[in-house]
Amino acid sequence: MSQSKDHRFGTKAIHAGVMPDPATGAIMTPIYQTSTYVQSAPGVHKGFEYSRSQNPTRQALERSIAALENAEYGFCFGSGLAAIDAILKTLKPGDEVISTNDLYGGSYRIFTRIFEDFGIHFHFINMSDIEVLEKHITDKTKLIWVETPTNPMMNIIDISGAAKIAKAHNVLLCVDNTFSTPYLQNPLNLGADVVMHSVTKYIAGHSDVVMGALATSNKDLAEKIGFIQNASGAVPGPQDCFLVLRGIKTLHIRMQRHCENGSTIANFLKTHPKVDKVFWPGFKEHPNHQIASQQMHDYGGMISFSLKENTAGAATEVLKKFELFTLAESLGGVESLSGHPATMTHASIPKAERDKVGLSDSLIRLSVGIEDVEDLILDLKQALA
Ligand SMILES: *Cc1c(COP(=O)(O)O)cnc(C)c1O
């Protein structure tokens, strides 16, 4: 690894983990499209045996992501959900997990539809007031799962507060940092044990790759994750790793613009007569703004809003009229996207659960891209007209 952890974020985004290719001097890490590596005698090799276990392109990316999260160890997976799957496989039947109740739909699905069947029990609680977490911890609790900002309600969870409670009870804390990215928030610095990313979103940043990652400085946990990564085998291919390495080089610049555009759009929506509520942690009146300003460097480009006419039909009318805010699942790419959580990303969460967290039928989620913000505002104006 050529660069130290002491560099600032933008320098790390460009340099950390990558070094000129030892074979040719190529500045950019090559796509090592190989499944296996020559051994000069049985067991004698250059540290690479088989590409499920190690691949140089993936290794450069894993080191880069670890550096961005100020972690000792990084691991990449074939998707964000494969990364979640790997963390859950460190648990045993009978173990309990406490999770935020306002959560990515796919995380809720893998928890309740896959791992419940293997005897792991999940509790979904409102962590807006972090002290309530303590009441739910039992001697079976092994993992606390936090997503912040939450998806799609943009609630903020106090990571340091959760870490203190986790440490006091010897429970691991994992933070899904997909929405914030390491540019906005570094959970390990706040006391978390492991960070998870859907790399698919901001880290890759161009809506052309599906990938996940974990980062930790806990050596025991890293050994378990590394074992599972190889033993279960949900690894990404070298071509995708190359694309993500390329995406990361502009992560800080993209995030700056996502934040600027996000702020302008959140403030525009707030004054629009057809809009009911706007959910964005940068507002002073956001219930957890104080914590957001402590644990995040800025507020990001994810915004949800509800309409005064609170029906799915009213939301559909707006979504159909968008020209730039393309209607699609996913988020975090350079282009702006829109979504309807109740019928798209969060359809796998029962309506009763959605209502509990305030995910109303008219709620629209925006992933604000890095286009010229004047054009984005014009698009919102015509769609809401
Ligand atoms: C997309 C997403 C995931 C799942 O990641 P995939 O790469 O789609 O498997 C997990 N958490 C959050 C917050 C996400 O947005």
- Expressed as residue numbers, the domain containing 105 is 9-248
Angle at 379 between CA 360 and CA 376, to 5 degrees: 95
Tell me: pLDDT of 1 over 50. no
In DSSP terms, 215 is beta-bridged to 74, 195
Angle at 307 between CA 126 and CA 156, to 5 degrees: 25
- Whole-number average pLDDT of the chain: 96
Any ligand 1 atom below 6 A from CB of 176 = yes
214 and 264 co-located in one domain? no
Where in the sequence numbering do the catalytic residues fall?
52, 104, 176, 201
| Structure confidence by residue, pLDDT tens digits, 213-259 | 999 999 999 999 999 999 999 999 999 999 999 999 999 999 999 99
Last residue of a domain, one of 231, 248, 265: 248
Question: Are 149 and 156 spatial neighbours (Cβ–Cβ below 8 Å)?
Answer: yes
Q: What is the mean pLDDT of residues 260-280?
A: 98
Q: Whole-angstrom Cα distance, residue 373 to residue 198? A: 26
In DSSP terms, 41 is beta-bridged to 44
121 and 189 co-located in one domain? yes
Any ligand 1 atom below 6 A from CB of 80 = yes
240 and 107 co-located in one domain? yes
Pick from 200, 243, 329, 349 the residue to mutate for probing ligand 1's pocket: most ligand atoms within 8 Å of its CB.
200
Residue 284: which CATH number? 3.90.1150.10
For the record, the structure tokens of 199 come out as 């790399």
Edge to edge, what strands does the sheet with 212-216 contain?
Answer: 73-77, 212-216, 194-198, 172-176, 141-147, 96-100, 121-125
195 and 54 co-located in one domain? yes
Last residue of a domain, one of 233, 248, 263: 248
180 and 327 co-located in one domain? no
**Protein residue closest via CA to atom 8 of ligand 1:** 80
| Structure confidence by residue, pLDDT tens digits, 278-300 | 999 999 999 999 999 999 999 99
Candidate from 5-9, 66-70, 272-276 with smallest mean pLDDT: 5-9
Last residue of a domain, one of 248, 264, 293: 248
Question: Are 201 and 271 spatial neighbours (Cβ–Cβ below 8 Å)?
Answer: no
186 and 277 co-located in one domain? no
284 and 175 co-located in one domain? no
DSSP string across 224-246 = HHHHHHHHH--PPPHHHHHHHHH
Question: Are 203 and 334 spatial neighbours (Cβ–Cβ below 8 Å)?
Answer: no
pTM: 0.96
Number of domains making up the chain: 2
Name the residue among 273, 334, 269, 291 with its Cα closest to residue 128. 291
Distance of CA 125 to CAs 16, 56, 263, Å? Answer: 37, 41, 29
242 and 335 co-located in one domain? no
Residue 176: which CATH number? 3.40.640.10
53 and 106 co-located in one domain? yes
275 and 377 co-located in one domain? yes
Q: Whole-angstrom Cα distance, residue 240 to residue 83? A: 15
85 is a domain residue: yes
pLDDT tier for residue 164 given thresholds of 50, 70 and 90: very high
DSSP string across 317-337 = HHHHH-SSSEE-S---SSS-E
Any ligand 1 atom below 6 A from CB of 346 = no
Tell me the CA–centroid distance for residue 219 and ligand 1, in Å: 25
114 and 229 co-located in one domain? yes
73 and 215 co-located in one domain? yes
